[in-house]
Homo-oligomer: A and B are copies of this chain.
Amino acid sequence: MFSKETYTSRRAALRKLLQGEKGIAVFIGNAEAPAQYRDNCYKFRQDSTWLYYFGIDEPRFASVIDLEDGTETIFADDVSIDDIIWMGPQPSVAQQAAEAGVAHSAAYSGLGSAVGKALAQGRPVHTIPPSRYYNTLKLKELGIDGQPSEALIRAIIAMRLVKTPEEIAELDAAGVLGQKMHTVARKGIRPGRVEQEIVGEMEGVTLSEGWGVSFPTILTQHGEVFHNHGHAGVIEPGKLMVVDAGAETNSHYASDFTRTYPTGGKYSPRQRDIYQIVYDCHELAFSLIRPGVRYSDVHLAVARLMLDRLGQLGLVKGDLDEMVAAGVAGLFMPHGLGHNMGLDVHDMEDLGEDLVGYDTDQLRSKQLGLGSLRMARRLVAGNVITDEPGIYFIPDLVELWKKEGRPFVNYAALAEGYYDFGGIRLEDDVLVTGDGARRLGGTRLPASPDEIEAAMAADRA
């Protein structure tokens, strides 16, 4: 938890952004999430917006902020003697509220009364979209499961998009831990091992020093499958291993890195050719990041460089402007260049991707790839984003485009030489500074093909 002043001033800033709005704002912290049954739960993860404004990292807390008179109340239950036996002595709710700078507290059931009173008086009740099924149920139970409040959502996004120095310190720490995970992974990659063994080693590191993983670890020899969470594969020589993983600190800030390793320690010439394109796209993006630049434009600059270079390999052919406009890069990179990161690895995704990632004058593309871009906004200092270009050869997708007769693509060359290639992605976490950008997380992980081969040779020495 940060200091009381941090939370007090954040809530004051939120109320200021919402000046003129009537009614109350309701914040529902998370409950425990059952894995098998109600008393056997996953590791507790608090709601990120709750953490941001109240900091209390315990289940079943809620709060109401009166937007008109500024009164703040936290609702949660004090522990009973039974709870003391099972969970030990706990600070009172009033004490916890005081640590967050909140003057009033009441039993959890008081939330229902507070909301009911506001509804009876015809006052607006501002809510955010539920991030979990528990919250969905709770909103239904409170009778406020209608439209979330766009005013409240926009105010929260405006604040959380710009990280403060104390948040940046946490994000750097998350970066250091995430890079430690990746180093464990790189050292663990050896033909004959099972992928799951390495995943366990990586995740053990995050649990020893942090909350755990910031998202389910991707470690796969099928990099062309983006969200491949199976880890039963045996590592084969000559393959590419995509490792996309990050850590969450005990304070719940995230990191998110991707590296793509040659399973045998050396890239084949064909692998190196594609890797070099991805690497150059990554570096180009990093060089363009600065306040005032639209990240959608950085995505498009990457698409242009990628198509130009794929053209040099004979995999696409045509006018570069036309290919960029037609979204041909989406065949090779069907995802966006990056996303916001903070308390969530895709920061605030529960609040709505478009509201978080697009300025009010930006429309989301419908093209494959660019349409998946989660962060398109004009960058401002304090934004934390990922820079993660990739090139993938997805046979089903290539065949679909071929069937649809889409131009510019050398389908024969792809079918002949790339259907067993897999994919390559390279990702770092980037802070937008006053005049440019810096990578988060201390010493950068090896990133270029030469750096990676040298590191793997040293690991094996």
User: Which residues of A line the B interface, CB within 8 A?
Assistant: 31, 33-45, 47-48, 81, 84-89, 131-134, 136-137, 196-201, 203-209, 215-216, 222, 224-229, 250, 334, 343-346, 349-350, 394, 396-397, 400
Contact = CB atoms under 8 A, between A and B. Distances in A.
Given A35-B45, A89-B396, A201-B208, 4 more contacts: A33-B132, A36-B45, A200-B205, A200-B207
Nearest to A397: B85
A45 B47 CA distance: 21
29 contacts: A33-B132, A34-B131, A35-B42, A36-B45, A36-B48, A36-B350, A37-B346, A38-B349, A39-B346, A40-B345, A42-B42, A81-B400, A84-B396, A85-B397, A86-B226, A87-B226, A87-B227, A87-B228, A88-B228, A133-B134, A133-B137, A136-B137, A196-B209, A198-B208, A199-B207, A200-B205, A200-B207, A200-B208, A204-B207
Nearest to A204: B204
Contacts of A229: 43-44
A200 B39 CA distance: 22
A132 B396 CA distance: 36
A328 B397 CA distance: 69
B396 A225 contact: no
A232 B40 CA distance: 21
A349 B40 contact: yes
B196 A200 contact: no
Contacts of A39: 346, 349
A423 to B, nearest CB: 11
Contacts of A345: 36, 40
Nearest to A83: B227
